[in-house]
Structure 1
Amino acid sequence: MQSLPVIGGVDRAVHDLYRFWVAPEAANDPDITVLLYDDAVARETGKTTPIDRALLANALREVELAGARAVGIDMIFIQPSDDESVLIDRLKQMQIPVYMAYADPESDRAAYWDGSVADDASEYQIDFWKRIGNPKVQRVSPAIGVDETGIARRWPSLKPGGKPTLAAALGASEKQSTNYAGAIAFSRLTAAETEIGLQIATDMFPTLPIDVVSDPDLAEFSRPLLKDRLVLIGADTFNSDQLSTPVTRYTDQTTIAGVAVHAHMLRQVLDRNFPPPPPWWAILVLALVLAFAAAATATIERRPVTLLLIIFVQTVALGLLPIILHYAGYDILYLPIFGLLSAWLTVFLIVGYAVRSRTSTERAFARGALGKFLPENVALEILEKPEKLKLEGEERPLFMLFTDLEGFTRFSHARPPQETARILNRYLEEMSQVILDHAGTIDKFVGDAIVAFWGAPLKEEKDGRNSVACALALHKTAERLRAELTVGEEKLGRTRIGLHFGQATVGNFGGERRIQYTAMGDDMNIAARLEGANKYLCTDILVSEAVREQAPEHSYRPMGAICLSGVATALRVFEPVDDDRNAYTSDLTDAMIEIETRNSGAGQHLRDLAAKHPEDMAIGALIDRIDQLTLEKPYELGGK
């Protein structure tokens, strides 16, 4: 019955709600610690894919020195890097067990790397493991049981004789390494631990940034959280695996990092908590009992109040059944809760109709009553145009904006969760309102970052002007919030903004149970990289030349040409300015024209401006790269 799309989807949603209800509350875990390579670490090292392997090597050294029992690494190594030898040397020296994710070339690789580079990735991974040559370092499967809706509910089904899961290997559970496919036993952080009553799905596992652990000067502070523990290391960046779970669907977290799911699985292994499903014959007997109860109820000739009371009692009994089975030691993952309810309702309606139908009028009335189970407009739309249910998108020219709050992860680590939540909510609320006030479409929030665009779902002539005006207004709002939300001596980081105009595919994307109106494409990536380029150009806002051409109403300062990672051609970039900083924009423009046309004495005008305005760090940054400002010789940001 769960194979039916509608019933199966609702069954999973109902199952998730029950899993949330029965998920035990847990305080800080005494056995497991998680080390994260998060966005703050990626920005600090300038490396995301591949990660900074020297940093990982240093962290492994400190974890071993701290006396950890074993280490699990939820990262696969399928492409070369300039610091790979440092990590390999460290792995060769490890004396404690290390279990590293390995994408099986036969069964796993399609899930972990692009098919176009499969052969190269597979060859490199094999060579990488050959170079380690340490029996203490073992391969494990990184698999998690994620269904078609993108929700991690169950343990993965592994092929016979394959590598054990990361959690099974760390927890030394040979019995459950490959043959358990039941539900993952998620827990919730005890409400008292959250201090603000938020239901949180990960913080019961002590979590540390990997760069803190890898630094010998700071490592001593983290050693109490590493000694005699099982340590999981994984990524929690914007482009890493972020998974929804039965618990996060009904908590204040939408998703958690894949390594956090492995942590829950490891806790389950340590507890040897592998409940069996209810026997198939028991479910069959239950279905027959429900069918009999539904038929008996439909034939009762009682007052409506009495009939409703009987139905209510049966509904409550069915609703309590999964909870009873759970506490009786059974896994309710594959219990067709909604299917059983649908069967009860179907039998009730059919029998009731057969008993009471005497005339054609009564039959018509019954059909009308059945039709009330679906909204009329929805039902008619689906029946007349079933293609409306398809997920699809269209290509459109968009103005794409990305923002990021610099250093917020580190900022949040220094204060209680409730204060972090208050600050972030205030920041996102006011920044979002600015975007909406400028007729923008908010795509998504990624932590403290915001993605928005103009040009969809409705296209307006003022989209270009509105998008640039919004970027300027966002900067002003962010600077005001920096002053208002400053706590103690630590100030909120500056907000970097990137804006680009180009083609993107926009529409509804997702799965059968969850969709999102969003945009995607190469030009979206350019906008994201422009946001990151602010860090190196000492600017707050960067827009592409395409934006300047589409929105000539604004004033812009030329910031030279740059070459972004993953972009084949160099781009001229500009910083939009308002009246406060427009006084010498024309002088800066003239100076940049001199450099591009290679006039005699080119560059001196720019140096004079820098000397005259020493507070303008963006002009100072132009001086630092004065020989890399043209399209012929751009400033390379490929590795940054």
Structure 2
Amino acid sequence: MIPRTPDNLRRLWSPVWVGFVGILLAGIFALLDSSVFGLELRTLDLRFQLRGPLSLEHSPVVIVQVDNRTYKDLDARWPFSRAWHARLLRNLRAAGARTVIFDIMFTESASEDPEGDLELAAALAEADDTILSGEMITESARGGTRYTRVDPPLPILLAGGTDWGLVDDIKDRDRINRRYNLYQPKDELLPTIGTRLIMKLEGVDHLSEPEGKELVIGSCRIPLSRDLKNIMRINYYGPTGSFPTYRFSSILDDADFDLADPDMDTDYMEMMKNPELFAAFFGDDAVNPFKDKLVLVGVSADDLHDNKMTPWYGYGDSAHEMPGVETHAHAIQTMLDRSFITRSSANQDRLLVALAGLAGGLAILWLGPLPSLLVLLVLAAAWAFTCLKAFTGFNHWLPLLAPLVALAGAWTAGVLQQFLRARRERQEVRAIFSRYVSRAVVNEVLKDPSKIALGGQEREITALFSDIAGFTTISESLTPTALQELLNEYLSEMTDRVFENQGILDKYIGDAIVAEFGAPLPSESHALQAVSTAVAMQERLEELRAGWAERGFPPVRARVGINTGVMAVGNFGSREIYDYTAIGDNMNLAARLEGANKFYGSWIMTSEATWKQLGGAFVGRALDVIRVKGKEEGVAVYEIITAVGSARAPEALARVEAWDRARALMLARNYAAAEAAFAAVLERWPDDAPSRVMRARCTDWVLSPPPADWDGVTAFEEK
């Protein structure tokens, strides 16, 4: 231990030291209220995940949601007829639901379905325990003034005395939903739907102004955020799917409603509405999942964009966003259980920071570098443990980062600034370069860092899309481990072919591969590189299939679509999160061509724009002129068979010549002769799938030829 000499005391109280500690503490105080506070929020998220999910076994909350599968079950897209919402409400009430809360907006009339509005209004009039949602809209007036407008549900829906509450989406700066708006202060306090539900349960008709730092609703005293008096923090009980969740279509499924999929049409709600039928099917001890429940109805389908980031995002092996309706469920459960997250006051936080900073300063002064480092580590671990226990045991949020930074600040101040600066620069460089998967991209960025600016450049490139044929069947035939082994090996081998031809791996989409050629490094032969990659992929796949067969894997074939054209290439995304990619109509066409292969039995399909740039380097043939989904003009497409000079080239050339003769007859509308010519091709090359397709087409046209004004374009409505 360093002795307490006058010199040491002078060092402790010297103006330089006092100034340093003052600056340090001032910076830490600012940390509490600055944008860096987001780091502290992340530690709060970590505390949720370290605590683990809480039991909801006895929760009265149930969720009904419109998910992606609902569309298929109903053979319909959003918005649904409000008559369906009426049916859903009646079925839930018949099944014994205590209260139904709609996290769905009915603020505008359904102009195409006025009967649906009337039907829903009638159903609401029959149900005295329903809560509808109103919308809060922030708008800007002249001069930049911002104000909040409230859109209540349609008057016709409220005519029977139905209650309603607001819906407000509150995100922290990192786009994570941690807080819940309890009410909107207008002429009177307008509750949100969760608050409205608690009011109903507590028998309270009107909200009163908060009492100090609490909003009192009957016996429920809700601690408020220390900076906003109408906000509480949600105590999330677990990740996505914590509450019992049922599909919207299942609640419609009764004896009078048929689902589009006969296999799913089980008249599920008939069992829920009939206690005897329920007991017969589920057993006497089974509990009706809707009886006496608080049922929240909302959406989770991808196209409705109501999924949120929460503190549980990334928990375990998954990274799922939470449906907005489920965030309401967690807020409601927080209020039902009175399991509120409390937080120390700002002055208490400052005192903790001051004590931690003082401890760090004294440690370095009195113990020396190495002993004080050990003491600081022990103190830091003890404080982290205290913060975790305060949260898991008492739902109390103690500041973690600020005291730890203050504790370490006095010891590391001299070197920390340099270390953080160097580390930050390394992280920035690593973050930029790690987004790219090719050394070519890195070299391009090093030559011109402006290439990483948002947006990008327009240039002519060639895009390649590859996808495994029948992947669903393959995946169903393998165990997850075997599928992972097969897919990883496949993607690695195919990606190597991309890199060998100076391509850029854009992304993997499941088993699909997206690549570009001619960007970011310009290339005059990008079309040639892309087609060379496709041929190399097919050749390597042929080799791999033999080895995979010996290991018990099913045969894997891949279709490839290639298109050349002007596309926007560069970084696309937000300022913090973005990807190097290409976008545009020509990019989409490449994807469509990949899918069009299946209609001809081909494996590599290119557009005419790509074919014209190959310079006779490949054996191929004009397949057809097609109009893909989303395009108005026809596109001439070609099949690539092999490279000129390969062992297969002579036979491939002979097949192409026979094909061209047959196709010429077809284009001349001599369908009988064309049918015979394609039959001759198949007699010599029985596996030539495109000839089989064209022969069948000619057979049909002999009996029923296309109209005289037909433009010769084959239209596809499928992707």
TM-score range, shorter chain: 0.5 to 0.7
Alignment-derived partner of residue 246 in structure 1:
311
SS at match of 2:236: coil
Give runs of aligned pairs for residues 41-440 of structure 1, distance below 5 A.
Answer: 42=71, 63=92, 66-71=95-100, 84=113, 88=117, 91-95=120-124, 96=127, 103-107=135-139, 129=154, 135=160, 141-155=166-180, 159-161=184-186, 165=192, 167-168=194-195, 181-188=231-238, 201-211=239-249, 214-215=252-253, 216=258, 218-221=265-268, 227-228=290-291, 229=293, 230-237=295-302, 240-259=305-324, 260-302=326-368, 304-327=369-392, 329-330=394-395, 332=397, 336-349=399-412, 366=414, 370-375=417-422, 378=425, 392-395=454-457, 396=459, 397=461, 399=463, 401=465, 422=481, 425-426=484-485, 428-439=487-498
Structure 1: gaps of 5 or more residues: 109-121, 189-200, 351-365
**Residues 19-41 of structure 1 deviation map (CA, whole Å, 9 limit, x = unaligned):** 21124344777632343421x55
SS at match of 2:342: coil
Question: Corresponding residue for 2:24?
Answer: none
- Give the secondary structure class of the aligned counterpart of 1:155: strand
1:254/1:61 Cα in 2 relative to 1: closer, same or farther (>3 Å)?
same
CA contact (8 A) 1:73 1:99 kept: yes
Offset at 1:507?
Answer: 1.7
Inter-partner Cα distance in structure 1 for 2:551 and 2:322? 28
Q: 1:10 aligns with which of 23, 30, 39?
A: 39
Q: Secondary structure at the match of 2:65?
A: strand
2:51 maps to what in 1?
22
Offset of residue 315 of structure 1? 0.7
Match of 2:715 among 632, 635, 638: 635
Task: Describe the shift of the 1:576–1:389 C-alpha distance in structure 2 as closer, same or farther (beyond 3 A).
Answer: closer
CA contact (8 A) 1:42 1:51 kept: no
* Structure 2 residue identity aligned to 1:314: L
Question: Following the alignment from structure 1 to structure 2, what is the Cα–Cα distance between the partners of residues 2 and 473?
Answer: 60
Match of residue 452 from structure 1: 514
Matches within 5 A, 1:596-635: 599-601=668-670, 605=674, 635=715
> How many angstroms apart in 1 are the aligned matches of 2:602 and 2:112?
30
In structure 2, distance between residues paired with 1:467 and 1:78: 54
Return closer, same or farther for 1:483/1:636 CA change in 2, 3 Å cut-off.
same
The alpha-carbon deviation at position 311 of structure 1 amounts to 0.7
Paired residue for 1:112? none
Deviation at 1:343, TM superposition (A): 3.0
8 Å CA contact 1:501–1:544 kept in 2: the answer is: yes
Quickly say closer, same or farther: Cα 1:498–1:276, change in 2 above 3 A.
Answer: farther
**TM-score scaled by structure 1?**
0.66
In 1: Cα distance, 2:157 partner to 2:662 partner: 55
Query: 1:153 is matched by which residue type in structure 2?
Result: R
Shift in Å, 1:314? 1.6
Corresponding residue of 1:465: 531
- SS where residue 273 of structure 1 aligns? coil
Change (3 A) 1:31 1:156: closer
The letter for the 2-side match of 1:31 is: V
Contact 2:462 2:610 in 1 (8 A): no
C-alpha separation in 2, matches of 1:131 and 1:457:
58
Give the conservation status (yes or no) of the 8 Å contact 1:72–1:166.
Answer: yes
Report the Cα distance in structure 2 between the residues aligned to 1:65 and 1:404, rounded to whole angstroms.
48
Give the drift of 1:324.
3.5
Give RMSD over aligned pairs.
5.9
**Taking structure 1 as reference, are residues 271 and 509 closer, same or farther at Cα in structure 2, changes over 3 Å only?**
same
Higher relative contact order (CA 8 A, sep 6+): 1
Say which SS state the counterpart of residue 402 (structure 2) adopts.
helix
What is the identity, as a one-letter code, of the residue corresponding to 1:399? A
Deviations 1:66-96 (A, max 9, x none): 4444555556689999975675465345345
1:97-131 Cα offsets, whole Å, 9 max, x none, are: 666666545459xxxxxxxxxxxxx9xx99x9577
Determine if contact 1:509/1:518 at 8 Å carries over to the other structure: no
What is the deviation of 1:399? Answer: 1.1
Indicate how the Cα distance of structure 1 residues 70 and 30 shifts in structure 2: closer, same or farther if over 3 A, else same.
closer
Q: Shift of residue 287 of structure 1? A: 1.5
2:605 and 2:638 in contact (8 A); partners too: yes
Cα contact 2:108–2:154 (8 A) shared by 1: no
Determine if contact 2:110/2:117 at 8 Å carries over to the other structure: no
Contact 2:107–2:134 under 8 Å retained in 1: no
Contact residue 406 and residue 496 of structure 1 kept, 8 A: no
Which amino acid letter does the alignment assign opposite residue 294 of structure 1?
Answer: G
Give 1:297 shift.
Answer: 1.4
SS of 2:318 mapped into structure 1: coil
User: How far apart, CA to CA, are the structure 2 residues paired with 1:250 and 1:279?
Assistant: 29
8 Å CA contact retained: 1:430, 1:477:
no
Task: Kindly indicate whether the alpha-carbon contact (under 8 Å) linking 1:562 and 1:572 is maintained by their aligned counterparts in 2.
Answer: yes
* Alignment deviations for residues 323-380 of structure 1 (CA, whole Å, 9 cap, x no partner): 2332464553xx6532333233334445xxxxxxxxxxxxxxx4x5752345469269
Aligned residue runs from structure 1 range 512-523, under 5 A = 512=576, 514-521=577-584, 523=586
CA distance in structure 2 between the partners assigned to 1:524 and 1:434 by the alignment: 23
Q: 1:328 to 1:25 in 2, by over 3 A?
A: closer
- CA distance 1:233–1:316, change in 2 (3 Å): same
Q: Which residue of 1 aligns with 2:285?
A: none
Gaps of 5+ in 2: 1-30, 141-148, 202-206, 208-216, 273-287, 430-445, 643-647
Give the Cα separation in 1 of the matches to 2:115 and 2:469.
32
- The amino acid that maps onto 2:425 is V
Is the contact made by 1:564 and 1:570 (CA closer than 8 Å) also made in structure 2? no
Give the match's secondary structure for 2:343.
coil
User: Structure 1 residues 465 and 233, CA, compared in 2 at 3 Å: closer, same or farther?
Assistant: same
Equivalent runs, 1:534-553 vs 2, <5 Å: 545-549=608-612, 553=618
Residues 300 and 307 in structure 2, CA contact (< 8 A), matched pair in contact too: no
- 2:3 — aligned with what? none
How far the C-alpha of 1:523 sits from its partner, in A, is: 4.8
CA contact (8 A) 1:102 1:139 kept: yes
Aligned-pair identity (%):
18
CA distance in 2, matches of 1:380, 1:343: 23
Question: What letter is aligned with 2:231?
Answer: A
Q: Is the 8 A contact 1:464 1:547 kept in 2?
A: no
Aligned counterpart, 1:32 = 62
Cα distance per residue 1:470-506 (max 9 Å; x no partner): 886899899999999999xxx9999987665451343
Measure the CA separation in 2 of the matches of 1:163 and 1:495: 58
Distance verdict in 2 for CA 1:492–1:234, change over 3 Å: farther
> Whole-Å Cα distance in 2 between the matches of residues 71 and 541 of structure 1?
54
Of stretches 618-627 and 135-144 in structure 1, the one that deviates more from structure 2 is 618-627
Letter in 2 for 1:339: A
Distance 1:343 1:377, change over 3 A: closer
User: How many matched pairs?
Assistant: 573
Distance 2:130 2:65 in 1: 14
Q: Which moved more, 1:323-332 or 1:162-171?
A: 162-171
Partner of 1:357: none
